[in-house]
């Protein structure tokens, strides 16, 4: 090729690259909500937005140096290193292999290379050989691959397809994500009331739910399951957020029907006031007919399946299941777990793992600690306007306060 033509081609290529970079940056710019430095700093100092007439927001506890929790802890070198009866638990699709491998890498680095807890993977379809090979290659701990029985996954026989179609349209009009994606509804139902019934978990007590594409940022040097067991905890969470009230319009009224029939299940030291707060986001409470919509974000949870298997919770789930809201509305497992826990459990058995650095897009739990790297201490989200979704202040107000 003559030299001039080569130079011209090179110049054209450089111009193309420059224009592409410009376009991509422009797209990113408009897709990402822009937040000023000042707004970011303000949202880091406090955990909640200001509300007219309400008390000032509390200082962000993630900004003070966060250490390991108080109480009995088992570390690596301790003589009593007995493992709890526990599993890491992931419901995942074959198509999410890359995402789960990435998260396994984080879990291995921060925790499981030290404690070696087994993994149990669940799927409504058989796992591929590639899935099994590549996930098992991520850990020296044993992995089990379990198929969910059809009767645990499919919509139960009393669900009316015509009503699903009509009510799905209402959810679409309310801008509810996954409104018409039936697999999403089935997933929420399985996570609400089926996972702990799977035969593979019959003899297992503790689980840590782990989702593909979530990130873990901090080294965890004590056994989290033993922490739960030895300190009489039942449920651990990292993030407390509001739900879309339009997805659960009848969840609270249905819950109240159940409670009216079974007042004996309500724990005297419950977290009812956290569940029913109407001061911070009155509109949420109004649309959800009495429920604040504040919930533990259940894509992370460390829990005791004996609680979910208890008469109180399991009968509650059965009642909800017959009411149909997993399909006629889009009840999530997060609010269902949270309401069950908030009503039937002694609230002192709920633990905030504030020392576990975590991201499930778009929300973080990120403590200030030398053990963490990769996230911004105190930051709840990169998109400033989403800070209002954080309701941990509500939880402190009614639960951790005493
Ligand atoms: P989101 O976080 O609410 O947007 O929901 P996700 O798409 O993350 O789903 C929650 C969890 O359920 C993730 O661990 C998914 O891998 C899993 N999941 C969702 N739908 C299905 C499904 O149809 N089959 C299987 N096997 N897993 C699913
Ligand atoms: Mn998810």
**Domain map of the chain by residue range?**
61-400
Looking at residue 126, its pLDDT comes to 98
Ligand 1 mutation target, pool 88, 90, 93, 121, most atoms within 8 A of CB: 93
Tell me how many degrees the CA angle 142-143-148 measures, rounded to the nearest 5: 145
User: pTM for the complete prediction?
Assistant: 0.89
Please identify, by atom number, the ligand 1 atom nearest to the C-alpha of residue 125. Answer: 26
Q: What is the mean pLDDT of each run of 10 residues along the chain (402 residues)?
A: 59 52 39 47 55 60 95 91 96 98 98 98 98 98 98 98 97 97 98 98 98 98 98 98 98 98 98 96 98 98 98 98 98 98 98 98 98 97 97 88 56
Peptide bond into 362 cis (omega under 30): yes
CB within 6 Å of ligand 1 — which residues? 91-93, 96, 123-124, 183-184, 187, 211-212, 299
Looking at residue 37, its pLDDT comes to 54
Given the cut 0.85, state whether the ipTM is greater than it: yes
Looking at residue 176, its pLDDT comes to 97
Please identify, by atom number, the ligand 1 atom nearest to the C-alpha of residue 96. Answer: 16
| Ligand 2 ion: nearby residues, β-carbon < 5 Å | 211, 299
Question: H or E element: which one contains 206?
Answer: strand 206-209
Q: What SS3 class is residue 99? A: helix
* Domain 61-400 = CATH 3.90.1170.50: no
Looking at residue 204, its pLDDT comes to 98
Q: How many CB atoms lie within 10 A of CB 377?
A: 19
Looking at residue 31, its pLDDT comes to 35
Closest ligand by atom to 191 CA: 1
Structure tokens given for 130: 């590639």
């Amino acid at each position: 090729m003559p030299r001039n033509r080569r130079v011209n081609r090179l110049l054209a290529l450089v111009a193309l690259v420059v224009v592409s970079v410009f376009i991509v940056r422009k797209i990113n710019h408009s897709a990402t909500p822009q937040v000023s430095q000042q707004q970011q700093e303000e949202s880091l100092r406090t955990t909640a937005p200001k509300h007219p007439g309400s008390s000032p927001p509390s200082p962000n506890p993630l900004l003070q140096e966060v250490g390991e929790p108080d109480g009995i802890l088992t570390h690596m070198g301790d003589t009593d290193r007995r493992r709890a009866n526990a599993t890491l638990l992931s419901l995942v699709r074959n198509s999410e292999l890359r995402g789960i491998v990435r998260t396994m890498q984080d879990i291995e680095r921060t925790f499981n290379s030290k404690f070696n807890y087994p993994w149990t993977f669940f799927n409504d379809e058989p796992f591929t050989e590639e899935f099994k090979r590549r996930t098992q290659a991520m850990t020296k701990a044993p992995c089990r691959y379990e198929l969910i029985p059809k009767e645990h996954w499919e919509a139960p026989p009393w669900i009316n397809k015509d009503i699903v179609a009509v009510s799905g349209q209402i959810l679409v009009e309310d801008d509810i994500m996954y409104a018409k994606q039936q697999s999403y509804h089935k997933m929420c139902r399985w996570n609400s009331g089926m996972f702990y019934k799977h035969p593979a978990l019959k003899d297992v007590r503790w689980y840590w739910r782990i989702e593909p594409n979530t990130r873990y940022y901090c080294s965890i040097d004590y056994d989290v399951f033993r922490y739960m067991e030895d300190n009489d905890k039942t449920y651990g969470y990292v993030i407390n957020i509001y739900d879309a009230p339009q997805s659960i319009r009848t969840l609270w009224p249905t819950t109240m029907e159940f409670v009216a029939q079974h007042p004996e299940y309500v724990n005297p030291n419950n977290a009812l006031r956290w569940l029913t707060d109407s001061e911070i986001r009155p509109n949420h409470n109004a649309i959800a007919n009495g429920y604040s919509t504040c919930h533990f974000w259940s894509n992370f949870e460390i829990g005791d399946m004996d609680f979910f298997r208890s008469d109180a919770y399991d009968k509650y789930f059965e009642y909800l299941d017959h009411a149909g809201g997993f399909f006629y509305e889009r009840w999530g497992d997060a609010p269902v777990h949270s309401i069950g826990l908030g009503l039937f459990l002694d609230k002192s058995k709920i633990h905030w793992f504030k020392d576990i650095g975590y991201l499930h897009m778009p929300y973080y739990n990120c403590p200030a600690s030398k053990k963490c790297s990769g996230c911004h201490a105190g930051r709840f989200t990169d998109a400033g306007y989403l800070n209002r979704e954080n309701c941990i202040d509500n939880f402190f107000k009614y639960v951790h306060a005493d």
